[in-house]
Amino acid sequence: MASSGELAKFKIILRAVHQRSPLNLQRHQELSPYEFPPNMSHHVVVRDDQEPALIFANGLACSRELVGQLLEWSPKVIALDGAFDRLADWRIKVDVVLGDMDSLNQGALGTRLDGRGTSESEHREGAQAYLSHRQDGVHWVYAPDQEYTDLEKALSWAYEQGHRAAHVLWANGLDADHFIGNLHALAAVPRDFAVTMIQDQSRIFRLPNQFSKGYIAGTRLSLWPFPTAYRVRTENLVYALHSEDLHLGKRIGIRNQVERTAIVRIEHQEGCLMLQEPLSTNI
pLDDT of residue 146: 81
Query: Which of residues 124 and 39 earns the better pLDDT score?
Result: 124
Read off the pLDDT band of 27 (50, 70, 90): very low
Q: pLDDT by residue (tens digit) across 96-124?
A: 999 877 666 555 455 444 444 555 666 56
Of 61-65, 128-132, 139-143, 232-236, highest mean pLDDT: 232-236
Contact 153, 145 (CB under 8 A): yes
State residue 112's pLDDT score. Answer: 40
**pLDDT band, residue 190 (cuts 50/70/90):** very high
Given this model, what pLDDT does residue 36 score?
Answer: 44
What is the average per-residue pLDDT within 155-159? Answer: 96
pLDDT for position 90: 93
Mean pLDDT across the chain:
80
Amino acid 124: pLDDT: 65
Most confident range (mean pLDDT) of 44-48, 246-250, 276-280 is 246-250
Least confident range of 20-34, 106-120, 155-169, 180-194: 20-34
Q: What is the mean pLDDT of residues 217-227?
A: 96
With pLDDT > 70 as the criterion, what percentage of the chain qualifies? 70
* pLDDT > 50? residue 127: yes
Q: Is the pLDDT of residue 191 over 60?
A: yes
User: What domains are there in the chain, each with its CATH number?
Assistant: 31-201 (3.40.50.10240), 206-278 (2.60.120.320)
